[in-house]
Structure 1
Amino acid sequence: MTDPITLHGRHLIDGAWIEGSDFFTADRTDGVETRFARGTAADIDLAVQAAAAAFLPYSRSSRESRALFLEAIADAIEERGAAITAIAMAETGLPAARLEGERGRTTGQLQLFAKHIRDGAYLDRRHDAADPERKPLPRPEIRLVQRPIGPVGVFGASNFPLAFSTAGGDTASALAAGCPVVVKGHQAHPGTSEIVADAILAAIRATDQHPGVFALVQSDTNEAGAALVQHPLIKAIGFTGSLRGGRALFDLAVSRPEPIPFFGELGSVNPVFVLAHAAESRGAEIARNWAASLTMGAGQFCTNPGVLIVPEASADLIETEAANQLRQVPQQTMLSAGIATAFGRNAAKLAAGNAVRTICAPEATGRAATAGLFATDADTFISNPELAEEVFGPAGIVVRARSEDHLLTIADALEGQLTVTLQLDDADTDTAQRLMPILEQKAGRILANGFPTGVEVVDAMMHGGPYPASTNVAATSVGTLAIRRFLRPVAYQNLPEALLPADML
């Protein structure tokens, strides 16, 4: 495969493509070697300084100006659609249909955010009029509005080269809020990041934005990431990735002389509870659909439903149907050799223990992996917390529960999750009502009779959850509410209108 656009492998800083002093080679499925500049702390500093210079003019720009900018980014990405699909296929191994769908989600998100900020409701404007007659003291006039927080650092995600990376949800949210963005590109898809950054640069020029409003620094080391989090001019971080990597960066963010918000989405096992009547009436169907969800995209979704909790009475049938379905799934290409290696190592560790039965043994060779299925009982699952840790890839575990009370015990033992799913029929309502108060404390999104591998970009979406699913239980990284992460409320007392921000009026 040849790239429709020639890649130059540079950083984008302050509106210009900057050469690096060192380079890394991208890992591609087609064997083509492409070199990219390896970002340093000095490169990060240049990018952040430019973002800080852009902050005042950009944060004071009109909502209409920012909306036009977001729409111009969407248009420029679509103009480069064929090139983005081609390079992303080579870098990630994802099929064209998946990437084209993800591109549509990315551009649709930008357009949705443009519409949302035009409306202005997200600003949560409040006004308490003065009351000079109030006793014993007059009440002053107080107005409140949300204001941009400052330059934002964003980390590209490995599993979504478009929707959670260079122009993905964190970047779109921050730009919509009025905050310049510095992206540390993910080393698994640097070519994709470069072409998307070129689209953003085109939109900057087309809408006459400050050139420092967006930067892309490529790197395959930890130096650039750590420098971004610790830079004193960065005021917040958006991150999607592993628990280990996210926690390390979170610790850096909160240990700074000026701690900053770190909005990390760190993954989840997204348990599915199959209640008794649903298991009895359609257990085989649930098992097959679960297996399909489990292996979608080689299991490389943060919402992958890795744990299926079933009644003992239906467990044999469900295990058999799930295993039959998984054995039919061909070997799948994973996002990188490193991810495939980690999947094989974690799955082998799970299989080697005495806590589970191996029904289908997964295998990982090079960048490819086959699906795996394990099973255990509820008591073992509860007493071995490592069984509830994410195995990033196409592997799941069936947990057998002896009773309704057992389901409650399992739910209570869970750590924070992005999602929890209930498979239920009408006759299961009483059991579900007992579970709901627990599940609401465990997850950001609760589903009924579906599977969580699919996150709608809408006003009501919550994509976050209690730790370790995310580092901020009140924040979402998907949907229009995500914009609020990069705003802060400011109150204005007795200020004349000439001094108020335009958004206040």
Structure 2
Amino acid sequence: MHCSGQMLIGQQAVTGSSAVIHAVNPATGEQMEPPYPGGGAAEVEKACQLALAAFDDYRELALEDRALFLETIANEIEAIGEVLIQRAVSESGLPQARIVSERGRTCGQLRLFASVVRAGEWLDVRIDPAIPDRQPMPRTDLRQRHIALGPVAVFGASNFPLAFSVAGGDTASALAAGCPVIVKAHSAHPGTSELVGRAVQKAVSKCGLPEGVFSMLFGSGRDVGAALVADYRIKAVGFTGSRSGGTALMQIAQQRKEPIPVYAEMSSINPVFPLPSALKARGETIAEGFVASLNMGAGQFCTSPGLVVAEKGEALDAFVSKARDVLQQCASQTMLTRGIYEAYQQGLDRLSSHANVSEVARGQVGDSPNQCQSALFITTATDFLADEALQDEVFGSTSLVIECTDSAEVKQIAELLEGQLTATLQMDDADFDIARQLLPTLERKAGRILVNGWPTGVEVGHATIHGGPYPATSDSRTTSVGSAAIFRFLRPVCYQALPDRLLPGPLKESNPMGLKRLYNGKRET
């Protein structure tokens, strides 16, 4: 399989006529071929038209057939082989081992959702059978299930060219729910996107599905993405990226004649709270784990630990000293794009020039383009509380330590923070009382609370939550990772007194699909 520079609209490969995108190898600055002309209004119209035409048939596809489709996508991605790995490495600057791992995660997500689809629990079937002789009033027959929202627009992320991109979590969960997907591919890795897009396109054909189940568009600016979100046929949006980008899409979605949900993952600094007993007993070990998490992938993870909040004293001093020593040995790493590198440098300059922030250490300087030099800074709780700008995310391998006078000030910092994807407690048994005081605040502030671990690395499972209050995400009730992500693209429908012959399969009295339904308030077995 090779890259052609084309968009994928249904089963067609289409050459755009708008501004051209070229992938750039961030490790070398080399412009890559082929060019990718962007789409425009005509391509958005065609993709949306096909998606709507496919919707009603696809959303009622038999659960086994839909599960097989998701598994076929995974198989087709794996069948691309080394070509995909090398293209993704070249377009992202990420090491080969990371890309291989990410491909595994991408295919694992698809297979996870296949198992979720087969189980059918996401349909959440509830049946209250008629009680015609109930007093003082009879009860009519009521039956409820979840159905797909409609066509979904998915925006590929810059920092995960596979797992949060064309066939990533948003696409997998939307397809699992029964929603056709139109992907706005990320301009940083168009070749990777095309290769994966062709795998999805091939799976659609192999499974005999309506061609509008999947399309993929390119666009160098915001026009294509904005047009997708504004189109009346799009019923939900999945986005991973900057706060400004997510907020802009939210505004478009809310200004429509029919507002729609935008599930945007945007900004998080993921505070770490090393509590006193743990810090005293194993501060150096905690420091080593912290730097390893901070430096992973040049800090280009939405869960990178960008803040450390702890009580000042000898234990914190030892932690900072060890973190300094370890960080100074960290080699620089290539960042994803020139733009991300420049934004990172601006963040570093903002911290290093701040009158009330001191630099602790920096990592090694690189000798090639777009190299992330890790950094650690420190300030006091008083100064942090006085300057809201110190909460701003620096996307990259940089963190800020906050020295607090006591546990009350630690809690005050926690209360001040914006919504987060994660909050981490480093604690021992003697820290339980302090942790108990912090937990109610952290529950309100974060989607995932960790103990004695590190926030980088998100398990793709059933209990996972990768979400949180704004600005971590646009909707704190949802997750973008894990099987519960399917619920973003569903809505409930109730059928009152509908004859059994007209009921959809999950609601029929005979339960032909063998689902575990809530029947008259009791779970069927």
Same fold flag (TM > 0.5): yes
How far does residue 386 in structure 1 lie from its aligned partner after superposition?
1.3
Question: Are 2:190 and 1:221 equivalent residues in the alignment?
Answer: no
Report the AA paired with residue 167 of structure 1. Answer: A
1:478 is aligned to: 481
2:354 is aligned to: 353
How far does residue 349 in structure 1 lie from its aligned partner after superposition?
1.2
Q: Distance in 2 between matches of 1:170 and 1:366?
A: 32
1:330 is aligned to: 331
TM-score (norm 2): 0.94
Q: Per the alignment, in what secondary structure is the counterpart of residue 431 of structure 2?
A: helix
How far does residue 388 in structure 1 lie from its aligned partner after superposition?
1.4
Report the AA paired with residue 332 of structure 1. Answer: Q
Q: Per the alignment, in what secondary structure is the counterpart of residue 441 of structure 1?
A: helix
Q: Per the alignment, in what secondary structure is the counterpart of residue 477 of structure 1?
A: coil
Identity of aligned residues (%): 48
2:431 is aligned to: 428
2:387 is aligned to: 384
Equivalences for residues 297-312 of structure 1 within 5 A: 297-312=297-312
1:318 is aligned to: 319
Question: Are 2:12 and 1:11 equivalent residues in the alignment?
Answer: no
Q: Distance in 2 between matches of 1:227 and 1:361?
A: 43
2:100 is aligned to: 100
How far does residue 32 in structure 1 lie from its aligned partner after superposition?
4.7
Instruction: Name whichever of 168-177 and 494-503 sits farther off.
Output: 494-503
1:27 is aligned to: 24
Q: Distance in 2 between matches of 1:437 and 1:404?
A: 15
Report the AA paired with residue 437 of structure 1. Answer: P
Unaligned runs of at least 5 residues, structure 2: 509-525
2:444 is aligned to: 441
Report the AA paired with residue 27 of structure 1. Answer: V
Question: Are 2:122 and 1:122 equivalent residues in the alignment?
Answer: yes
Report the AA paired with residue 74 of structure 1. Answer: A
Q: Distance in 1 between matches of 2:92 and 2:232?
A: 34
Report the AA paired with residue 485 of structure 2. Answer: A
Q: Per the alignment, in what secondary structure is the counterpart of residue 301 of structure 1?
A: coil
Q: Is the 8 A contact 1:265 1:464 kept in 2?
A: yes
Instruction: Name whichever of 66-75 and 366-375 sits farther off.
Output: 366-375
Unaligned runs of at least 5 residues, structure 1: none
Q: Per the alignment, in what secondary structure is the counterpart of residue 398 of structure 1?
A: strand
Instruction: Name whichever of 203-212 and 475-484 sits farther off.
Output: 203-212
Q: Per the alignment, in what secondary structure is the counterpart of residue 470 of structure 2?
A: coil
How far does residue 56 in structure 1 lie from its aligned partner after superposition?
1.0
Q: Is the 8 A contact 2:17 2:40 kept in 1?
A: no
Q: Per the alignment, in what secondary structure is the counterpart of residue 440 of structure 1?
A: helix
Question: Are 2:406 and 1:403 equivalent residues in the alignment?
Answer: yes
Equivalences for residues 199-238 of structure 1 within 5 A: 199-238=199-238
Q: Distance in 2 between matches of 1:285 and 1:269?
A: 22
Q: Is the 8 A contact 1:272 1:423 kept in 2?
A: yes
Report the AA paired with residue 501 of structure 2. Answer: A
Q: Is the 8 A contact 1:152 1:174 kept in 2?
A: yes
Q: Deviations over 1:356-395 (max 9, x none)?
A: 1112257787321210110001111122111111100010
Equivalences for residues 449-488 of structure 1 within 5 A: 449-488=452-491
Instruction: Name whichever of 100-109 and 41-50 sits farther off.
Output: 41-50
Q: Per the alignment, in what secondary structure is the counterpart of residue 187 of structure 2?
A: coil
Q: Deviations over 1:84-136 (max 9, x none)?
A: 11000000000111011011011011001001110111111101111111223
Q: Distance in 1 between matches of 2:423 and 2:81?
A: 34
1:369 is aligned to: 372
1:252 is aligned to: 252
2:517 is aligned to: none
TM-score (norm 1): 0.97
Q: Deviations over 1:9-51 (max 9, x none)?
A: 1110021100111322111245252211212232112111111
4+ residue runs of structure 1 moved beyond 4 angstroms?
361-365
Q: Distance in 1 between matches of 2:4 and 2:14?
A: 10
Q: Distance in 2 between matches of 1:105 and 1:267?
A: 22
Q: Is the 8 A contact 1:267 1:303 kept in 2?
A: no
Q: Is the 8 A contact 1:12 1:217 kept in 2?
A: yes
Q: Per the alignment, in what secondary structure is the counterpart of residue 444 of structure 2?
A: coil
2:523 is aligned to: none
Q: Is the 8 A contact 1:341 1:366 kept in 2?
A: no
Aligned residues: 501
Q: Distance in 2 between matches of 1:26 and 1:336?
A: 10
Q: Deviations over 1:333-364 (max 9, x none)?
A: 00011100110011111211112111225778
Report the AA paired with residue 15 of structure 1. Answer: Q
Q: Is the 8 A contact 1:309 1:400 kept in 2?
A: yes
Q: Distance in 2 between matches of 1:178 and 1:486?
A: 8
Report the AA paired with residue 129 of structure 2. Answer: A
Report the AA paired with residue 19 of structure 1. Answer: T
Q: Is the 8 A contact 1:278 1:424 kept in 2?
A: yes
1:419 to 412, 419, 422: 422
